[in-house]
A = this chain, B = another copy of it.
Amino acid sequence: MNIQNKLNFSRRIRRTPFTTSVEKHGVTGFSVVNHTLLPKSFQNSIEDDYLHLQKHAQIWDVGCQRQVEIKGKDALKLIELMTPRSISKLQPGKCLYIPLTDENGGIINDPILIKISADHFYLSVADSDVLLWARGLAIGFGLNVRIREPDVWPLAVQGPKAADVLAKVFGERIYSIKKFNFDYFSLDGSSQLIAKTGYSRIGGFEIYLSRPELGSSLWETILEAGRSENIRPGSPNIIDRVEAGLLSFGNEMTVENTPLECNMDKFLDINKEADYIGKKVLQRQIRYGIKRRIRGVIYNGPKLPTISRPLQVFDIDKRTIVGSLTSGAFSPHFKRNIGVGMIKYGYWDNNKKILVNIADQEFREGLIKDLPLIQ
């Protein structure tokens, strides 16, 4: 076997408090997010991991979801400035998905905002240095905030049995956390923030571990507690994510795309009272409409490998490139290949027939689909 894509380790690609545990438990591949290792595969196939995730519980090292902590008198003002979503009514104890936009309305990142108190927030970020963006803005605008990357590392427990597992470790109170809420639980004499969030269709919890030295023991404690729930190590699963229409910053969308192109219009407040970066462009885009948007595709033919490079989408006459699939895999649920990506105006209607260009001169017929593919 000629491995062409070994990842070279160095200090620059940071380990998490859980990396030693995932190595011990047979990780086989990584990605790199926020200069940090993200385990992507274990010894099972992606399909097997997918089936397991639908039924049981999994533990994921998502320490790469780095936190940007914003604290101080002007914290709310700075965050309002960074996003087209209104956060003025958000209460402490709540989480909110907020795209961050630049002056062109392009997406800088799509973090989860965690409101700890009136003037204290975390942004749990996807793969870009929001820390530098926020600090640059704060210095330039002369805002009264302290911004840093705290020593906090999320560990996810996902799947239908996630609550049952964590109840054994942190107590029954786990059951009372509502979706997109968080609460505090004790661990070895420390208080740990646990949110009911996660990057899977069924969902679960994320433990924002602020005592990294407890990483290995927390991992082992959860694995041990979850024996009867058949828990095992896993990672964000590409099949599950595409079925659920969960987008990935850097894959489905980049700074070249606006939140409107990414189906975020339903929960944004483009015309919110507070000023924010990109407001004029997004207001104009609301008025004149968008030229492309993210859509699902279900397509025919034998099982294809996971998409690792975008596949072009053509109209049914093979004359026009109408978009591309940026993530995709074979779905055991649909028994078809599925994908998500940007599709041009005029071609994005539900059930519109298209062709996916899977290799040189090789095309597969498929249908455009509303997201999520599975509710």
> A interface vs B, CB < 8 Å?
1-13, 15, 23, 27-32, 35, 40-41, 102-103, 108, 127-130, 132-142, 248-251, 277, 307-310, 326-327
Q: Determine whether the beta carbon of B1 is less than 8 Å from that of A9.
A: no
Where chain A touches its partner, the secondary structure class is loop
Q: Given A5-B6, A35-B250, does the pair A11, B309 have CB atoms closer than 8 Å?
A: yes
Q: Which of A6, A8, A140, A249 has the most CB of B within 10 A?
A: A8
Q: Given A136-B136, A137-B140, does the pair A8, B309 have CB atoms closer than 8 Å?
A: no
Q: Which of A40, A132, A310 has the most CB of B within 10 A?
A: A132
Q: Given A6-B29, A136-B132, does the pair A11, B250 have CB atoms closer than 8 Å?
A: yes
With A and B bound together, what is the CA distance between A8 and B127 in angstroms? Answer: 15
Q: Determine whether the beta carbon of A308 is less than 8 Å from that of B132.
A: no
Shortest distance from the beta carbon of A310 to any chain B beta carbon, whole Å: 6
Q: Determine whether the beta carbon of A139 is less than 8 Å from that of B31.
A: no
The 3 A-B pairs of least Cβ separation, nearest first, read A140-B140, A136-B136, A12-B250
Q: Determine whether the beta carbon of B9 is less than 8 Å from that of A309.
A: yes
CB-defined contacts of A6 to chain B, threshold 8 Å: 3, 5-7, 28-30, 41
CB-defined contacts of A27 to chain B, threshold 8 Å: 4
Q: Can you sample 17 A-B contacts with CB below 8 Å?
A: A1-B3, A3-B3, A3-B6, A3-B29, A4-B23, A6-B6, A7-B29, A7-B30, A8-B30, A10-B251, A10-B308, A11-B310, A13-B32, A128-B129, A129-B129, A136-B137, A139-B140
Q: Determine whether the beta carbon of A7 is less than 8 Å from that of B5.
A: yes
Q: Determine whether the beta carbon of B10 is less than 8 Å from that of A327.
A: yes
CB-defined contacts of A103 to chain B, threshold 8 Å: 135, 139
With A and B bound together, what is the CA distance between A309 and B202 in angstroms? Answer: 36
Shortest distance from the beta carbon of A6 to any chain B beta carbon, whole Å: 4
With A and B bound together, what is the CA distance between A142 and B277 in angstroms? Answer: 12
Smallest CB gap from A32: residue in B: B32
CB-defined contacts of A327 to chain B, threshold 8 Å: 10-11
With A and B bound together, what is the CA distance between A142 and B138 in angstroms? Answer: 12
With A and B bound together, what is the CA distance between A277 and B308 in angstroms? Answer: 40
Q: Determine whether the beta carbon of A248 is less than 8 Å from that of B12.
A: yes
Shortest distance from the beta carbon of A17 to any chain B beta carbon, whole Å: 14
Smallest CB gap from A14: residue in B: B250
With A and B bound together, what is the CA distance between A304 and B309 in angstroms? Answer: 37
Contact partner, A130, options B132, B135, B248, Cβ 8 Å: B132
Contact partner, A309, options B15, B130, B133, B310, Cβ 8 Å: B15
Q: Determine whether the beta carbon of A102 is less than 8 Å from that of B135.
A: yes
Shortest distance from the beta carbon of A317 to any chain B beta carbon, whole Å: 26
CB-defined contacts of A108 to chain B, threshold 8 Å: 132
Q: Which of A12, A13, A102, A140 has the most CB of B within 10 A?
A: A12
CB-defined contacts of A31 to chain B, threshold 8 Å: 7-8, 10, 12-13
With A and B bound together, what is the CA distance between A139 and B326 in angstroms? Answer: 31
Q: Determine whether the beta carbon of A12 is less than 8 Å from that of B133.
A: no
* Other contacts beyond A128-B132, A140-B142: 13, CB < 8 A: A3-B28, A4-B23, A5-B7, A6-B28, A7-B30, A8-B308, A10-B250, A11-B326, A12-B31, A12-B250, A133-B133, A136-B140, A139-B277
